[in-house]
Amino acid sequence: MGGRQLSLGLGSPPQPARGGERVLAPGALWLGGAALSRVDALLADVHRVAAAAPFRHMETPGGFVMSVAMTNCGRLGWVTDRSGYRYTELDPQSGQPWPAMPESFLALAREAAARAGYPGFEPDACLVNRYAIGARMTRHQDRNERDLGQPIVSVSLGLPATFQFGGPERSDRPERVPLEHGDVVVWGGPSRLRFHGVLRLPEGEHPLTGPFRYNLTFRKAG
């Protein structure tokens, strides 16, 4: 713990600290490393959720199988299949309710949202994305949630990725934002409907997640 700031004389040079806040765009607040002190609990809970509702590759309405593997926790879970995108109370794979939202997830999401100016944020859905090497997410908007005045909070864990932050139109040229282990971003206000995606995950090995990147997105869906 704290090793990133200490130089022990030998070995790799110290990493720059990743703390701090940056406004990426109106309504989009990057909280660098905001989850770092809790990643052990968060990852343990990711594995607990996945033990109850396994990661799976869902099919898009157009018939493509997503390269990102997904699961959910909370009262509602986001799913896609040939009939469309929607939130469900039951995991279609098991017929059971999605696993409960872990307390570690809820606490972080609430605190991050409050820092960004959304003090009452009560997510009822957390989509958990797992990227293996080569997985990507094509640009899309998130608009299946009932109240688009509520933000989305995202937490990145494991291997780093390049996020593509576009504009309000699919054709707007996206800017590239690196998202690293422990970064939290709150996407609200005018950013909420911007197109976004994730470039193919480059090869790598992370000490805590091996060949994977996990992303948690907290939503008020219902």
Residues 122-151 contacting ligand MD3, CB under 6 A: 127, 129, 137, 142
- Distance in Å from the first CA to the final CA of the chain: 38
Among candidates 69, 109, 67, 75, which has minimal Cα distance to 91?
75
194 part of the interface to ligand MD3, by CB under 6 A: yes
Backbone angles phi, psi at 214, to 5 degrees: -110, 145
User: Which among 31-39, 137-145, 161-169, 181-189 is the span making contact with Fe ion, rule CB under 5 A?
Assistant: 137-145
Residues 88-127 contacting ligand MD3, CB under 6 A: 127
45 part of the interface to Fe ion, by CB under 5 A: no
154 part of the interface to ligand MD3, by CB under 6 A: yes
220 part of the interface to ligand MD3, by CB under 6 A: no
Kindly give, in sequence order, each residue whose CB lies less than 8 Å from that of residue 149, ignoring residues fewer than 6 positions away: 192
Among candidates 142, 133, 143, 145, which has minimal Cα distance to 204?
133
User: What does the block give as tokens for 82?
Assistant: 């040939």
Among candidates 164, 175, 160, 140, which has minimal Cα distance to 209?
160
User: Which among 84-92, 117-125, 186-194, 199-207 is the span making contact with ligand MD3, rule CB under 6 A?
Assistant: 186-194
Identify whether the C-beta of residue 142 lies closer than 8 Å to the C-beta of residue 58: no
Task: Give 45 or 142: the residue with its C-beta nearer to ligand MD3.
Answer: 142
Residues that bind ligand MD3 (CB under 6 A): 127, 129, 137, 142, 152, 154, 163, 185, 187, 191-192, 194, 196, 198, 215, 217
Query: Which residues are near Fe ion by CB under 5 A?
Result: 142
